[in-house]
């Protein structure tokens, strides 16, 4: 017997394509604003378990407005990898800890001239680095500071 979904909590199943599961899930929490929102307020993302983005459309719109070059910089890196200008990140080692890298860090910010100034970094080190940048108010001056300043040796 299949378990009924409680509409007051967002219960995720692994396969959203199974007979109308998506229609039965009515609400989801936005990872950015922490608000419970209707699923229609989230964009689609087939790679996610529930088939939806983790951030609501309103939060995504705000983030894009704050730094419109962020998404463009990520796209430029993807295109460079596809064109063979950059090796795939998973073939690289993290510049901080030496483990297999999973992400690219834009060392000089997201200005168009710096879109391909990236270093391979593992997800854990990248999160620590971004938290350090935000908590120390270095975000606005990031392009003028060397990457090594934020990493422990």
Do 60 and 129 lie in one domain? The reply is no
CATH code, domain carrying 33:
3.30.60
Of 57 and 142, more confident: 57
DSSP-derived secondary structure letter, 67: -
**Arithmetic mean of pLDDT, 70-95:** 93
Phi then psi for 34, rounded to 5 degrees?
Answer: 60, 25
Confidence band for 30, pLDDT divided at 50, 70 and 90: very high
Query: Which residues, including other chains, have CB under 8 Å from residue 41's CB and lie 6 or more apart?
Result: 30, 56, 57, 58
Q: Average the pLDDT over each of 95-99, 109-113, 137-141 and give the range with the smallest value.
A: 137-141
- At residue 140, does pLDDT exceed 80? no
- Is residue 13 situated within a structural domain? no
Query: Which residues, including other chains, have CB under 8 Å from residue 9's CB and lie 6 or more apart?
Result: none
The whole-number pLDDT of residue 137 equals: 52
- Is residue 125 situated within a structural domain? yes
- Is residue 10 situated within a structural domain? no
Do 105 and 57 lie in one domain? The reply is no
Q: Average the pLDDT over each of 18-27, 99-108, 123-132 and give the range with the smallest value.
A: 18-27
- At residue 142, does pLDDT exceed 50? no
- Is residue 8 situated within a structural domain? no
Do 95 and 57 lie in one domain? The reply is no
Do 42 and 103 lie in one domain? The reply is no
Contact 145, 132 (CB under 8 A): no
- Is residue 145 situated within a structural domain? yes
Cα 90 from Cα 100, distance rounded (Å): 6
Do 88 and 144 lie in one domain? The reply is yes
The whole-number pLDDT of residue 24 equals: 62
Confidence band for 150, pLDDT divided at 50, 70 and 90: very low
Which residues does residue 87 pair with via DSSP β-bridges, in sequence order?
Answer: none
**Nearest-CA neighbor of 67 among 153, 150, 144, 139?**
139
Query: Which residues, including other chains, have CB under 8 Å from residue 12's CB and lie 6 or more apart?
Result: 25, 49, 50
Q: Based on the structure, what is the number of domains in the chain? A: 2
Do 30 and 91 lie in one domain? The reply is no
Domain span holding position 32: 21-64
């Amino acid at each position: 017997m299949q378990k009924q979904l409680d509409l007051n909590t967002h219960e995720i199943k692994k396969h959203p394509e199974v007979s109308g599961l998506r229609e039965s899930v009515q609400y989801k929490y936005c990872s950015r604003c922490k608000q419970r929102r209707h699923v229609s307020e989230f964009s689609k993302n087939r790679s996610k378990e529930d088939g939806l983005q983790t951030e609501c459309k309103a939060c995504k719109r705000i983030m894009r407005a704050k730094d419109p070059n962020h998404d463009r910089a990520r796209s430029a890196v993807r295109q460079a990898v596809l064109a063979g200008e950059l090796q795939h990140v998973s073939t690289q080692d993290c510049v901080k800890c030496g483990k297999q890298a999973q992400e690219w860090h834009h060392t000089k910010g997201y200005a168009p001239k710096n879109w391909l100034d990236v270093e391979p970094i593992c997800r854990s080190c990248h999160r620590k680095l971004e938290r350090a940048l935000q908590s120390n108010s270095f975000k606005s001056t990031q392009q003028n500071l060397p990457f090594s300043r934020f990493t422990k040796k």
